């Protein structure tokens, strides 16, 4: 595989992991602050789900990167 492609994958790994973790923490914060509000619960759950998917995608990219080297 081309070295530039591997560098881009390594960058995307950390972008997905850090942004995903940030969104997950933000989602937990919104859920805890807006327990009585249905919109807050929906927003918090959506952020938590999106953040978890981002972290999962970052982990998947780590696994793919380990297979290509």
pLDDT of residue 69: 63
pLDDT of residue 22: 98
For the chain, the structural domain boundaries read 38-62
For residue 9, pLDDT beyond 80: yes
What is the pLDDT of the chain when averaged over all its residues? Answer: 91
For residue 35, pLDDT beyond 80: no
Q: Report if pTM > 0.75.
A: yes
Query: Percentages helix, strand, coil for the chain, rounded to the nearest 5?
Result: 90, 0, 10
Q: Which residue has the higher pLDDT, 5 or 63?
A: 63
């Amino acid at each position: 595989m081309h070295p530039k492609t591997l560098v881009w994958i390594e960058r995307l790994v950390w972008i997905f992991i850090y942004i995903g973790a940030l969104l997950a923490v933000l989602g937990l914060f919104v859920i805890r602050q807006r327990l009585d509000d249905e919109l807050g619960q929906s927003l918090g759950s959506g952020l938590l789900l999106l953040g978890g998917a981002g972290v999962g995608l970052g982990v998947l990219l780590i696994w793919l990167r380990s297979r290509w080297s």
